[in-house]
Amino acid sequence: MSSTCQPVNPGFFPCVPVECIQADIGIVIDSSGTVTQDNADWDILKQFLTQLVDRLDIGADRVRLGIVNYAGQAKVEFFLEDNTNRDELKRAINAIDPLRTSTNTGGALRTLRETFFEVLR
């Protein structure tokens, strides 16, 4: 960690400048039929995700985000390394379509773990 990335308030909850944070975030979204019956709910979910992206320092060496979309089957919408800037990531989120079938939460979580977190950077 460089000197500019030293914690501002060392202790139980140290504050680190946002430009120093590295994180891999995997998000699982449920697009089964019961959740996406109303397209307004789907739009609210995508709006939430794009607002989240606006608050993160997205970049290959900063915060990386991947999404698993699931219903009956899990589908990797994009991997951690696929979108290296905020605009790319927001376009990718807005392009996600709901799957609208049954629900398999366990399969989605397994896909997330095996796809995004088996190998650490």
CATH number at residue 66: 3.40.50.410
Domain assignment of residue 81, yes or no: yes
Domain assignment of residue 10, yes or no: no
Domain assignment of residue 3, yes or no: no
Tokens of 57: 């320092």
Q: Mean pLDDT score of the chain, rounded to an integer?
A: 85
Domain assignment of residue 13, yes or no: no
Tokens of 100: 């609208």
Sheet with 63-70, strands from edge to edge, namely 23-30, 63-70, 74-78
> If you ran DSSP here, which 8-state letter would residue 25 be given?
E
User: Is the pLDDT confidence value at 79 over 60?
Assistant: yes
Instruction: Give strand pairing partners of 67.
Output: 27, 78
What's the confidence (pLDDT) of residue 77?
95
In the chain, the number of structural domains is: 1
What's the confidence (pLDDT) of residue 117?
79
Domain assignment of residue 9, yes or no: no
Backbone angles phi, psi at 38, to 5 degrees: -100, 115
What's the confidence (pLDDT) of residue 38?
76
User: Is the pLDDT confidence value at 2 over 70?
Assistant: no
Write down the pTM of the prediction.
Answer: 0.79
CA distance 117 to 80: 10
Instruction: Provide the domain limits for residue 89.
Output: 22-116
List, for residues 12-42, the tens digit of each pLDDT value.
Answer: 666 767 677 888 999 999 998 877 777 788 8
Residue with tokens 């049954």: 102
Q: Cβ atoms within 10 A of the Cβ of 74, count?
A: 21
What's the confidence (pLDDT) of residue 35?
77
Domain assignment of residue 47, yes or no: yes
Domain assignment of residue 14, yes or no: no
